[in-house]
Amino acid sequence: MTVRTLHNLHTIDIAPDEVGSTVRKGRKWSGVKRGEDIELCVCTKDPETHEVVGYGTVEHVRLTYPRGILAWEIANEHAAEARTYDGLLEGLERAYGEFSEYEEFVVMHYRRTA
């Protein structure tokens, strides 16, 4: 089975055995299953680089809208700068550009394993 790569434009600020969450625009990650292993990649855009910095196991996935992201999910955000609602919105705009409050997002929780 192929391991999916979770690309990030920021550091991963959770330690092994901690649970973190990430918010992704669209439905791409909505099909990931509980117990599925993922690799955690820190990337840059210019120049484009990719560095796998760890691994995780998916614990929960749900589809929502920006206003439907729960406070405890934001508090568990794997990027420290996104652990407030304003910080999360800034990070999402940096990654995806402008978006509507009616666009779908996936919130995925995973346990970092390495």
Q: How confident is the model at residue 45 (pLDDT cuts 50, 70, 90)?
A: confident
Q: Which domain holds residue 84?
A: 4-112
pLDDT in tens, 48-60: 999 999 999 999 9
Q: Which residues of 79-105 are buried (b: 16+ CB within 10 A; e: fewer)?
A: beebeeeeebeebbeebeeebeeeebb
Total structural domains within the chain: 1
Q: What is the mean pLDDT of the chain?
A: 96
**pTM of the model as a whole:** 0.93
CATH number for the domain including 57? 2.30.130.30
Q: Which residue has the tokens 């996935």?
A: 61
Task: Compute the distance between CA of residue 95 and CA of residue 99 in angstroms, rounded to an integer.
Answer: 11
